[in-house]
Amino acid sequence: MKLMDFIVKGAILADMKADTTRGAIDEMVGALVKSKAVAEEQRKKVVDAILKREKKGTTGFGNGVAIPHAKHEGVDGVVGMLARSGAGIDFAALDGQPVHLFFLLLSNPDKPEDHLKAMEHIFRSIKNDNLRRFMCQAASREELLELLREADEELD
């Protein structure tokens, strides 16, 4: 599984406007709804599922990255998106630093192995310091897409 297998290209946000955890999750899920990867009637339930997961423990893993995720029956397979916040958001990250890159991941509860594969691929990609730095500097959806493609090539 590659990043481009589950990242919804039309949902990528190069300049997220939110400045709170809830706002960030709302904006990211909204982008998935707008791109038709999540049904409008599932929006509130998906946001609530992600917030419930965040209450168990932050998904702000440090180095400016968070991977909010949830399992939800309202999605088929695995659906993900990438968002960049130029200003950074206090997402209760483990290192106490603001988060600039968000990989949101949703998966159907019937596909736990696909969820784990997608998470593993995100983690392997974000370990690359250069990739993280370039993603934080990206000014457009196209630049972020190109960086995702490069990350997939490096992990082949």
Helix (H) or strand (E) holding 100: strand 99-107
Told to judge if 72 belongs to the known catalytic residues of this protein, a careful annotator would answer no
Structure tokens at 83: 């968002």
Report how far residue 48's alpha carbon sits from residue 23's, in angstroms, rounded to the nearest whole number.
12
**Three-state secondary structure call for residue 121:** helix
80 forms bridges with which residues in the sheet? 7, 105
Q: Which of 69, 72, 100, 121 is catalytic?
A: 69
Task: Give the count of alpha carbons within 13 A of 68, CB side only.
Answer: 30
- What residues are labeled active site? 69
